[in-house]
Structure formats: structure tokens, C-alpha cells
Amino acid sequence: MSSPATTPAADPSGNAEYGHKPFKRARSHFADRITADGRDGWPVEAGRYRLVVSRACPWASRALIVRRLLGLEDALSLAVTDPLQDDRSWRFTLDPDGVDPVLGIRYLGEAYRAREREYDGGISVPAIVDVPSGELVTNDYQQLTLDLETQWTGLQRDGAPDLYPERLREEIDEVMDAVYQDVNNGVYRAGFASTQEEYAEAYRALFRRLDWLSERLAGRRYLVGDTITEADVRLFTTLVRFDAVYHGHFKCNREKLTEDPVLWAYARDLYQTPGFGDTVDFDHIKRHYYQVHTGINPTGIVPLGPDLTGWLSPHHREELGGHPFGDGTPPGPPPAAEVIGAAGRP
């Protein structure tokens, strides 16, 4: 999504208010789906759409990982925004002249208003834009990856894994809902709490759920079944940010990820799996959270730690069995233009 709540804040100057008002995550305003049958007017079509992300955002990171695992790089082009926003939100200042070379726009909000002229709500990532019209198609971060997995099958690479197997969907959905409520969203509810009671409630729910996850993963390599699923993708994007930002910046400090042997090994296992760690940019993550969230970090100082080298250390999770990609194969190396810079990786 976008910065703090990532769906709500259209004007990032409002980030100064976080920590001073109750936190509530808004629903995605544009919930059209891109489907094989085009039921919403948006049929799956190679090269027609552009995925817009911030590498800082955990919700956008889901889409980055799924796109890589399924080999959709050639079918769905990628635009990466600056991790820092100005008063018009997500911007393409990483591109030459500050203009996205495919969409021809300076701000993601331009695609929102191409779709709905008077739109004045939040500008969030991930977002998919229709290239021919320049209109936003969807910012529905919950449904977007599920559709990449189930509707884009005709464009997926040979050997793409099934991240949302039909026989396991009920269990996957149950696990994902628990993770979303207490972990994905829970760290934000703690970090942007405006009262001690609100913070304490979110903090306790977060660590109860992390304890539950640690116990669940102690004897199994993945959350559901014996292969990577969408549930693992959704948990990973929070865990990979935990020590870098959530532990200190969001006051989720009962313990660090590195202090839970099971979750730390699980997160390293996924980070070292092609398609996961090669999409993570710790530099973007830290600069966004610490410099944009001025309501809880008014100095804008970005911490130098933590030491990232541990992400590459042996995890030994393979001893639990399981097959990361099931009957499929790992994705190849990322396209040259999408390789994470040295500042963003161990």
C-alpha cells in the first residue's frame, strides 16, 4: 500500500499526524480485477498493464515476489517509485527526468485521476495501471496477487509454482487472515497507536500471533502444506522488515526476529529462496519508514543498523523436508534493471 496506512494517506504531509490519531486501514477504492475472462472489462493481456510498486512497502512487496516466482516479468512491466514521497505522494523520481518511461507520468496519482477525475483519496501501492489508457485498474492489494496466481496462468513461466493450490485454499485463507489481522496490520496498529491502551492491545496480539507462528513452524518448513504458498509470501514481507523498522520504529520490541530461532531461520530460508530476497531493498525500506513517518520520527534520522549479513547465514530448514516450488522450478535471475543495488542488500 503506501506509507503508513498506505491506502489512506493521499497527502504525505499527513504522515506527521500518525501517532496522534487512531490508526485505521482503509479499504482499496479501486477493486476491479484483471481476469482471464475480462469480466470487469480488464482481460489478462501480455504487455498491456504496468505494476507500480514501492520496494519499501510490504503490501507492494507481495506483488513483487509473486510476479518473480511466477515469471511474469515480460508480461507485466514494473515501475518502482521513490521510497520518499512529497506532497503529491508516490513519485517516479528514480527515473530519468522524474517521469515513468512507459506511463509518461511524474506521480502515480495521475493514473488515479485518469480513472476518476475528481478522485481525492489515498494514493496507494501496489497499483496496476492500464498502459494504453493511462488509467488505474486496481489498488486492491489483497486480491491482486491472488489474481496473478489464478487468472494469469496462461502467461506464467514454465515451471511456475502453484502458490494458491485449490485443495489448500481454505487453510491458506485462514492462516492469511490471522497473519493479516495480528501481524501484517498489527505492527502498524502498534506503531501508529495514539494511546497506551491501543498500543498495548496491538503489541500483545502481535506477539501472541508470532508465538503461534513460531510453534506452527517449528516442525514444518512452510505455513501450509509442504511448498511455498501465498501465506508464506504474506508473512515474509512483515518478517523481513521486523528488525530493520518494526522493532524500534514501531515499538514492537518484546524481542527481535533474530531472537526467535524458528522464525529467524524460516525468514532466512525464504530470503535465500530465488524470488524473495532478490526483491528486498533494505535501503528503500529504512529510508521510507524513518524519513516519511515524521509523526513518530520527527528528526528523520535513519539508523545505520541492523547488520544484514545474517540474512545469508545457513538456516538448515531443508532438514524439515518440503519442496519450495513443489513440482515446479525456481525462477531465473531477476532482469538486470530490477537487481537490487548494493546499499539495499547484505
- Annotation: binding site: 90
Q: Which of 49, 107, 112, 188 is catalytic?
A: 188
Alpha helix (H) ranges present in the chain? 58-70, 109-115, 141-150, 169-179, 186-191, 196-217, 230-241, 261-271, 282-292
Q: Phi and psi (nearest 5°) for 311?
A: -60, -20
- Strand runs (DSSP E) across the chain, as ranges? 49-53, 77-80, 127-130, 135-138
The CA distance from 330 to 150, in Å, is 18
Angle of helix 230-241 versus helix 58-70 axis, rounded to 10: 130
- In which order are the strands placed within the sheet that holds 49-53? 77-80, 49-53, 127-130, 135-138
Active site residue 57: yes
Q: Which of 18, 49, 57, 290 is catalytic?
A: 57
The CA distance from 91 to 59, in Å, is 17
Residue with cell 512483515: 238
Q: Which residues are annotated as a binding site for glutathione?
A: 90
Amino acid (one-letter) located at 221: R
Residues marked as catalytic: 57, 188
